[in-house]
């Protein structure tokens, strides 16, 4: 996916980054050692071949000069913290980080190298018809089980992993929504509704958030396209940058409950061990989907999109959710 946040680097700089991470002896010859992995939305990611033939992955955060959403500031550092937590406190498979450079000496951004996982992207392989229905079903259930293990991590506060935290989930989630609305207002994004209407829906339903009293690790972005599958088994989970301490009902695998376009969540829920949601859980889940829809709309301006497909999609989903909250358009 194309985005102005993708911080592509010339080969000379990539060589310097490799040398810092792996030593001069691993700097590759020739000019064909770096291949961009293009299906991400935010960071630029390269598949790198070292001089000894080993493959690794390089992930680079956006340039410092490019504006990003409030939730995306310092997000690579959040990802590194999340990966460390997952490795230390669960058996969920994540790539090993080989080297992280947060100095911003070589380039104007954070970056890190990690191991290359030789497997298929689960979501892409499923969409291309390269997996049987049985493998897709089993993979969805395995994702649910892995996500439950992630959610077993208890944090010290609600909100971003590295803080600052909030004492309550209501406060943390309200801040997340307000930050996104402020981001949208700053660049004058038309979300199809008055911003205060979104605030009103949140205020009217915020009491449902008070049932969440224990801050749990929430991956937030665990879609099938953020997992790798080999021989019918999920062998790695990717892209942990949006993780927070909050409510497990917020997980991406449950989005289809409110927004069918995101897919049937049945397999995920069975793997997770989650049955029918209570009414309070449904309200919270709907709020999280509402938040996602607002993000999808607002971030298009920050990505520099000229095609309106993603914007239009976000608008459709937001309209659907507002209707489920009993709201009708006023303009």
> What's the pLDDT tens digit per position in 241-270?
999 999 999 999 999 999 999 999 999 999
Number of H helices and E strands in the chain, helices first, is: 9, 11
At 9 the pLDDT is 96
pLDDT at 331 over 70: no
Rounded (5°) CA angle 44-26-94: 50
Distant-in-sequence, close-in-space partners of 200: CB < 8 Å, separation ≥ 6: none
For CA atoms 169, 175, 176, 181, give the dihedral sign: positive
pLDDT (tens digit, 9 = 90+) per residue, 56-83?
999 999 998 999 999 999 999 999 999 9
For tokens 């009993």, name the residue.
326
Output the pLDDT for position 5: 86
Tell me the Ramachandran region of residue 148: left when phi exceeds 0, alpha when psi lies from -120 to 50, beta otherwise.
alpha
Confidence of residue 41 (pLDDT cuts 50, 70, 90): confident
Predicted pLDDT at 304: 85
Residue 169 has pLDDT above 80, yes or no: yes
At 176 the pLDDT is 97
Bridge-based pairing of strands 227-230 and 111-115 is: unpaired
Whether the pLDDT of residue 210 is over 90: the answer is yes
Rounded to the nearest integer, the mean pLDDT of the chain is: 95
- Lowest mean pLDDT of 36-50, 142-156, 224-238, name the range: 36-50
- CA quadruple 58, 151, 205, 189: dihedral, nearest 10: 0
Q: What is the mean pLDDT of residues 288-296?
A: 97
14, 34 contact by CB (below 8 A): yes
- Confidence at residue 1, expressed as pLDDT on a 0 to 100 scale: 58
Does residue 33 surpass a pLDDT of 80? yes
pTM above threshold 0.85: yes
């Amino acid at each position: 996916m194309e985005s102005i946040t993708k911080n592509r680097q010339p080969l000379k700089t990539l060589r310097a980054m490799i040398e810092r991470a792996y030593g001069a002896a691993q700097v590759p010859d020739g000019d064909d050692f770096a291949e961009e992995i293009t299906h991400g939305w935010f960071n630029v990611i390269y598949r790198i071949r070292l001089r000894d033939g080993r493959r690794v992955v390089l992930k680079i955060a956006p340039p410092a000069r490019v504006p990003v959403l409030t939730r995306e500031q310092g997000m690579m550092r959040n990802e590194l913290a999340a990966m460390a937590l997952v490795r230390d406190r669960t058996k969920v498979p994540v790539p090993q980080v080989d080297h992280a450079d947060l100095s911003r000496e070589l380039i104007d951004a954070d970056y890190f190298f990690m191991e290359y996982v030789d497997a298929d992207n689960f979501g892409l392989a499923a969409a291309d018809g390269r997996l049987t229905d049985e493998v897709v079903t089993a993979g969805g259930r395995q994702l649910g089980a892995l996500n439950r293990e992630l959610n077993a991590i208890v944090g010290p506060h609600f909100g971003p992993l590295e803080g600052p935290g909030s004492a309550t989930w209501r406060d943390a989630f309200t801040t997340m929504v307000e930050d996104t609305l402020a981001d949208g207002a700053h660049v004058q994004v038309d979300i199809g509704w008055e911003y205060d209407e979104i605030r009103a829906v949140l205020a009217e339903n915020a009491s449902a958030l008070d049932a969440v009293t224990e801050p749990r690790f929430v991956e937030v972005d665990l879609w099938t396209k953020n997992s790798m599958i080999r021989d019918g088994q999920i062998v790695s989970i990717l892209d942990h940058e949006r993780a927070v301490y909050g409510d497990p009902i917020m997980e991406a695998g449950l989005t289809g409950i409110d927004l069918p376009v995101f897919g049937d969540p049945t397999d995920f829920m069975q793997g997770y061990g989650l049955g029918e949601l209570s009414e309070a859980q449904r309200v919270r889940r709907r709020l999280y989907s509402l938040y996602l829809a607002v993000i999808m709309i607002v971030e298009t301006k920050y990505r520099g999109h000229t095609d309106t497909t993603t914007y239009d999609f976000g608008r459709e989903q937001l309209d659907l959710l507002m209707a489920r909250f009993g709201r009708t358009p006023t303009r």
